[in-house]
Amino acid sequence: MTVAWQVGRVIAAQRETATARTLDIDVPGWSGNLAGQHLDLRLTAPDGYTATRSYSIASAGSGTRVQLAVDEVPGGEVSPYLVDQVAVGDELEVRGPLGGWFVWRPTVPTPVQLIAGGSGIVPLMAMLRSRRDTGSSVPFRLLYSVRTAEDVIFRRELEELASSGLPIDWVYTRSAPEGWAAPAGRVNKDSLAGAVIPLGDAPAVFVCGPTSFVEAVADILVSLGYPAEQVKTERFGGA
Amino acid sequence: MAVFSRGFTGRRREQDPSLPPGQYLTEDFPVLSAGPTPRIAIEDWQFTVRTEQGLLHSWTWDQFTDLGLEEVHTDIHCVTRWSKLGTTWRGVSLDKVFAVVDTHDEFVMAHSYGGYTTNIPLADLLDGQAWIATEFNGGPLDPEHGGPARLLVPHLYFWKSAKWVRGLTMMDRDDPGFWEQNGYNLYGDPWKEQRYS
């Protein structure tokens, strides 16, 4: 295996929601990463037992600082440790960056539609940051589906991006904020059709979220006529 | 140079000998696909093997399943680190398919509806090691898990078990398929942890 494990140190940690936390990790040997890539993270117990999981990277570009946003999986082995236990100053082993498919490159001029379900926002956030940090003028639009307003990860930064011109469409599946025009519910063909970059602009579409969300959204996009080869997906969890 | 994770003890202390290194057990069946799920009707489905002479062997769904389905009990291992033990499938052994194919090529590219590809040495598809699976857990294979038919090569990481498979093309060298061009190992043996290129 040519990708080596590297030791990083947690330099910042911030609670994002009741179940999710961002971790900023400084990895001295990090080679930088493309927006959308992921890494492997390994924990080691005192007796040498290890547990490894893959996490999407929320940051992009050169530099040795990577950010993860981890949502706690109930009964999970690694995510509860990252959300509740690990502290600034602790060391973590990581390996990466990994993956060369679900990535956005600032040199590609095609308009980009991002569609996130829950913590599926993480690799899409890396794309939004990459666009902002490179001064790209490629048109972007984000659709973000969450259970409630309290479940939004990266809330403040998304509000800043929205106020600087990024179109964001919100979908609340469990309960909508007071005064919100649409009732709470999952995306459907009608709501999706009105909330994504039109077919005529031939966008590249990135969809990330739980399996059921990604399956539903990708099926609707194809039924609306978006070419399957323009829809990249990343799913997590069982079917 | 182990780096210990302060306060981490881990949940599973015993190492299951059925579990390759770096894998964890899952009870559900995670889905990983690079794009939308193709929906292929059985009436439209066709399976084709193309040889170096340009010969095409083609089967319709009925012709193919008439080759004979056998039951397969196996463990499966995904490169994203989940393993699922004791799964039950039904499918056509690739030994039956290659019984009628004349080839000297040693490598195979599997092609799927939707455009996915993956490369596998022919030797890994023979001798009771690989199937075209049409059923999972006693029912038809769901589209999101690769139905109507997927390749099943359980001794390699599961990305080699191409979903929505439509055919095999013989190759004289081991050209990389889709994930193999996107950072993943050319062969993918889970017991050697051949995850990445």
Q: Considering CB atoms only, which of B3, B195, B197 is closest to A91?
A: B3
* Long-range contacts at B182-189 (CB < 8 A, ≥ 24 apart): B182/A99, B182/A100, B182/A101, B183/A98, B183/A99, B183/A100, B184/B79, B184/B157, B184/B159, B185/B157, B186/B119, B187/B121, B187/B156, B188/B79, B188/B156, B188/B157, B188/B159, B188/B160, B189/B155, B189/B156, B189/B157
Cβ pairs bridging A and B (under 8 Å):
116
Amino acid symbol at B178: F
| pLDDT of A1 | 45
| pLDDT of B1 | 55
Q: Considering CB atoms only, which of B8, B115, B182 is closest to A43?
A: B8
Alpha-carbon dihedral sign for residues B30, B34, B35, B41: negative
Residue contact B142–A239, C-beta within 8 A: yes
CB contact at 8 A, A218 and A231: yes
Nearest chain B residue to A78, by CA: B10
pLDDT tier at A2, thresholds 50, 70, 90? low
Chain A residues touching B29 at Cβ < 8 A? 238-239
Chain B residues touching A235 at Cβ < 8 A? 30-33
pLDDT single digits (tens) A187-225: 999 999 999 999 999 999 999 999 999 999 999 999 999
Chain B residues touching A228 at Cβ < 8 A? 35-36, 38, 114-115
Mean pLDDT, rounded, for A59-65: 96
According to DSSP, the β-strands at B82-93 and B24-25 are parallel
Report the C-alpha gap between A149 and B137 in whole angstroms: 39
Report the C-alpha gap between A224 and A216 in whole angstroms: 12
pLDDT tier at A75, thresholds 50, 70, 90? confident
Q: For residue A32, give both structure tokens.
A: 């930088």
For B84, half-sphere exposure in the C-beta direction (CA atoms, 13 angstrom radius) is: 18
Nearest chain A residue to B143, by CA: A215
Alpha-carbon dihedral sign for residues A96, A101, A104, A107: positive
Report the C-alpha gap between B62 and B181 in whole angstroms: 34
Report the C-alpha gap between B87 and B131 in whole angstroms: 14
Query: Considering only CB atoms, which residues of chain A are within 8 Å of chain B?
Result: 1-3, 7, 43-46, 48-54, 77, 81, 85-87, 90-93, 98-102, 211, 215, 218-219, 221-222, 228-229, 231-233, 235-239
Chain B residues touching A87 at Cβ < 8 A? 6
Tens of pLDDT along chain B (197 residues) come to 578 999 998 876 567 889 999 999 888 888 888 999 999 999 999 999 999 999 999 999 999 999 999 999 999 999 999 999 999 999 999 999 999 999 999 999 999 999 999 999 999 999 999 999 999 999 999 999 999 999 999 999 999 999 999 999 999 999 999 999 999 999 999 999 999 98
Of B117, B120, B94, nearest to B105 (Cα)?
B120
For A200, half-sphere exposure in the C-beta direction (CA atoms, 13 angstrom radius) is: 0
Report the C-alpha gap between A127 and A58 in whole angstroms: 8
Report the C-alpha gap between A118 and A16 in whole angstroms: 12
B4 touches chain A (CB under 8 A): yes
Distances (CA, A) of B59 to A5, A14, B16, B113, B147: 47, 57, 41, 15, 16
The string over A5-22, giving b where at least 16 C-beta atoms fall within 10 Å of a residue's C-beta and e elsewhere, is bbebebeebeebbebbbb
Report the C-alpha gap between A187 and A223 in whole angstroms: 14
ipTM of the complex: 0.87
What does R_g of chain A's alpha carbons equal in angstroms? 18
Report the C-alpha gap between B69 and B18 in whole angstroms: 26
